[in-house]
Amino acid sequence: MNPSTSPDAGSETHASGLLPREFLQYANPRRFFALALGLSWLFWTPIALLGLEPFSMPGIVLFALGGLGPAAAEFVLILREADSVYVQDYRQRVLDYRRIGLRWGLVVLLFFPVVNGIALGLVVLDGGSLPAFETATDLLADPITILPYAGFILLFGPLPEELGWRGYALDGLQVRWNALAASLILGTLWAAWHLPLFFMTGSFQAELGLFTPQSPYYTGTIVVSSILYTWIYNNTNRSTLSAILFHFMTNFSGELMGLGDRARLFQFGLITLAAVLVVLAWGPGTLTGAPRTRSTLLPGS
C-alpha cells in the first residue's frame, strides 16, 4: 500500500480539509449493493411468500437476519478487500463521537423531531387534529421500558443499516460521483432495499401499501433524506456514528409522534425543502462548501 494514502501519512492533506481520493477507492459500491440487497431479500422473501408475521416467531428470526444485510455486506467486503489501515478508519468512524461536535450533534439529534413537530403543526393548521401519541404516553407511564424500546429501534434499522449505507457505500460512491449524485444513487437503492417489506403482513410498509398515494412520498422521503445524511456525514469527518444517530432519531421521533398520512406528506415537503437549501448553501460537489477536485474529495472536520 502507498504510505501516502494512509490517514496518518495523509494528515497534512486531511488537515487542509480534504482526503486523498486513493484512500477511499477500496470501497466497491456495486458489490456492496448486490450483497446487501441479495442477503436481505434472501431472508425476507420467505416471510412474504409464506405469510409469516415479521414480529413473531419464526418470522422475526428471518426478519432480523434480513435487516443485517447491509452490515454483513460491508463486513465481508472490508475483510476481503481492505487492509488494516482501512479497518482502523472504519472502526474510528463508528466509535469516535468527537468527530461530530456540538453543532452537528444538535443537527443530528434535533432535525427530525423539529421537522416532525412542524409537520404536525401544519396538519392542525390544515384543519386536522393531533395524533393520540399512544407510544409516547405508554412509555412515559412506564419509564423503565424507554431504554429497551430505544434499543429495539436502534438494532432493527439504524445500526445495521448505517454500518453499510454510510459506513461503507457512501465513500465509494463519492469517489465516482459528486456528493449530490452519490446521495441520490444511495437513496434510490436504499428505498429499493425496502421493497420486500411491502409484502409482509404486519409491517409498516405493508400497511402503507405499495400502490397507494402514500407510497411515493414514503419512497421520496428515503431518497431525499439521503442528501441530508451525506451533508451530515461529510461535515462530521465521515462519521458513521452521526448517520446511525440521525437514522435513530428519524425512527424514534416518528414512532413517538405517531405521524399519520397527512403529517408524513408535510414531512416529505419539509425534508425536500431542507435538502434543496442544503444543496444551494453548501454546494452539490461535497455538500460542505469546499470544492471537489480531481485528486481530492470529502472535506474533513
**pLDDT tens digits, one per residue of 40-92:** 999 999 999 998 888 888 889 999 999 999 999 999 998 877 677 788 888 99
> Cell numbers 434499543 correspond to what residue?
151
Number of residues assigned to the chain? 301
* pLDDT band per the 50, 70, 90 thresholds, residue 219: very high
Q: Stretch 129-152: mean pLDDT, rounded?
A: 90
Domains identified in the chain, total number:
1
101-122 average pLDDT score: 96
The answer to whether the CB of 126 falls within 8 A of the CB of 262 is yes
The count of C-alpha atoms lying within 13 angstroms of the C-alpha of 62, restricted to the half-sphere facing its C-beta, is 21
pLDDT of residue 5: 38
* pLDDT confidence of residue 1: 36
Chain mean position to CA 195: 16
User: Which range (5-14, 215-224, 235-244, 258-267) has the least confidence?
Assistant: 5-14
- Pick 1 or 115 by higher pLDDT: 115
Given a cut of 90, whether residue 26 has pLDDT beyond it is no
Evaluate the omega torsion of the peptide bond into residue 131 and state whether it is cis, within 30 degrees of 0. Answer: no
Task: Specify the pLDDT at position 276.
Answer: 98
Buried b (16+ CB within 10 A) or exposed e, 102-123: eebeebbbebbbebbeebbebb
pLDDT classification of 297: cutoffs 50, 70, 90: low
CB 235 within 8 A of CB 101: no
Q: Contact at 8 Å (CB) between 112 and 249?
A: yes
Stretch among 13-27, 44-58, 178-192, 204-218 having the lowest mean pLDDT: 13-27
What are the residues whose beta carbons fall under 8 Å from the beta carbon of 186, sequence distance 6 or more?
165, 169, 170, 173, 226, 230
**What value does the mean pLDDT of the chain take?**
87
What is the share, in percent, of the chain residues with pLDDT greater than 90?
Answer: 63
Q: Can you give the residue range of the structural domain that contains 57?
A: 3-297
pLDDT tier, 20 (very low <50, low <70, confident <90, very high otherwise): low
One-letter identity of residue 290: A
